[in-house]
Amino acid sequence: MASLWEIHDTSNLRYANQAPTVVSLDRGEGPPSGSWGWIRTGWSVMGGSNPTSGEPGKAHCFLWTNGTNNEKGTVVQLASDWTKQWRTNKIIPWDADTKRCNTRQYVWCVQD
């Protein structure tokens, strides 16, 4: 699972072909937009986070060891609505949200 900071700058990455289960008219070589995926945040349990937090960047399914409905983790997607808060989004071009840890989501991955 990638950390957002490993994939934040999408221009320096190569992408695997999209999974056959992802339906997309644009089957180019770049990353998919509009698809949420789990992401590592780098936020520590010792940093005072609340694993049930609804705050993206701090929610992390108890360091990704918990898959219950009681806790939340952070998901990101490349923005598909380019007009939404484009002047104030601090992690452009990414949008962030939280999902319950037992929610099935894609995962952003990175390979050396």
pLDDT the model gives residue 15 = 72
Query: How many other C-beta atoms are found inside a 10 Å radius of the C-beta of residue 47?
Result: 9
Q: In whole angstroms, what is the distance from residue 41 CA to residue 31 CA?
A: 19
The pTM score is 0.76
Tens-place pLDDT, residues 43-78: 876 544 555 567 888 888 888 888 888 888 999 998
Query: How many other C-beta atoms are found inside a 10 Å radius of the C-beta of residue 88?
Result: 7
Amino acid at 6: E
Question: Any residues with CB less than 8 A from the CB of 56 and at least 6 apart, and which?
Answer: 74, 75, 76, 96, 97, 98
